[in-house]
Amino acid sequence: MNHIYELHKGVRHMVLFTCNKRYCEQAIRRLESQGIPYLLQPAGQQNQNIYFGRRECLEAIRLIVTRPLNQLTPEEDFILGAMLGYDICAQCERYCKRKIKN
């Protein structure tokens, strides 16, 4: 997985991988075999979100992402995107659009 490579190289500190539940066990085995910490979150009926990466990032995710992603506040969504390494300017635009709607 490219995400694991980027994690090992320090390009990312945390990754959000969404997969069909039938592939979740395979992804978890891969993470566990490499000693990579992870956190699971349901993503609808067929999918699973797998957050993985640095332990301190996952601890923050446990506190921030306490419900489905589409129910996050604009602030929580912004923090999550920043933690995942998304383009910060795009995150700012997304935040402003979501904040204005609320």
Residue 48, token pair as written in the block: 């699973």
Q: What's residue 27's pLDDT?
A: 95
Is-above-0.95 flag for pTM? no
pLDDT tens track for 75-92: 999 999 999 999 999 999
Is the pLDDT confidence value at 102 over 90?
A: no
pLDDT level of residue 1 (50, 70, 90 thresholds) = confident
Q: What are the start-end ranges of the E strands in the chain? A: 14-20, 38-43, 47-53
